[in-house]
Structure 1
Amino acid sequence: MTRHLTVVDHPLVQHKLTLMREKETPTAVFRQLLREISQLLAYEVTRELPMTTKRIETPLTEMDAPVLDGKKLALISILRAGNGLLDGVLELIPSARVGFVGLYRDEKTLQPVEYYFKVPAELGDRMVIAVDPMLATGNSSAAAIDKLKEAGAVNIRFLCLLAAPEGVARMKEAHPDVPIVTAALDERLNEVGYIMPGLGDAGDRMFGTK
């Protein structure tokens, strides 16, 4: 995956994203759409998983058939909203190892504050996919990737639902080696750091909180 930013413009992704953006979409439907769209995005972000072959027997003959190679990949949820993407990707890749990075954004400084970190062992031998629905300022995402690299990760992808140009630029500056896969690149951030036109606060809409 050589491009720093990949926007998945598949019709199903774009249709589901529009439904998620609508302010009248209820919490349960929002969660279901997020799970569905994350599976579709997962196809793109896992496109370069390493492969090998194994000898199998079909009902008709033997063959050398393709299978995944190497250690199980690691999915890292950037709490709390990352869990919405995590659920869908795990349905597609149930054997993946799972980790969590807890960060919240200080509303005054917009800087990330860490409160939790627990990740699988041997990150250096795994493809690592960090998931967070919104790439807004990029500060929290860049901080999470910093922590993953400190823990040994070298092959990292970042999966998000929406990205702002400011967040993409921040990530490219901090982590040019980490490709981003998203469903949409929106216009800008507003004065309080929300993506515009966006879909509001993904965590609040997912969990029914304000």
Structure 2
Amino acid sequence: MSSKNAVDVIIDGKIFTLSGFESDAYLQKIASYLNTKITEYKKDDVYRRQNRDFQHALLEINIADDYFKAKKQADMLENDVEEKDKQIYDLRHELIALQVKLDTLTKENADYNKRVVEYQKRLIKIETMMENSVSAPVSVETTVEDAVEEKPKKTRVRKTTVKKETVETPLEIMAKEASVDEEEKPKKRTRRTTKKTDTPVEE
């Protein structure tokens, strides 16, 4: 724990001893501020005509007014700082999220490039195989004599007859059945009979 400082300062022409945990420079700054305010009010005729107690009270009121104005400004600045800190915090988190996304996209891009290289290698291999197959000579083993001996085969054409189906009407079907029945009936035998006639015999 730091020790107290004791500093002799001059306020309104009088020597005062100020003590505190603050530095000597800070305590001298307080004395300088009070001297500035006293000098400022001594220039006012209304202030000079007042008694000593009223002058001290008026000086204290103005010092308090300066304090609250400074405190209000300090609070506003503190709020601004907190808002800025919050924005910085959000931006840091957003930056981290973007960094993670960038790393993911970079990895995906590397994978895609790797696949593209593999596909290019396959394509070159296929093109090389196609070029080799096109440029390879075709071997012909058949001679001219073999070609002459080979006779063209005759192609036989078979004629096929298409049966035309006829659709019978009901009347035709009935007439057909009737003719079949007539043929199946037994034919009646016709007997030839001779009539005997009694002729008188002449004696």
With the shorter chain as reference, the TM-score category is under 0.3
TM-score, normalization by structure 1: 0.18
Q: Higher strand fraction: Structure 1 or Structure 2?
A: 1
TM-score of the aligned structures, taking structure 2 as reference length: 0.18
Ranked by relative contact order (alpha carbons within 8 Å, sequence separation 6 or more), the top structure is 1
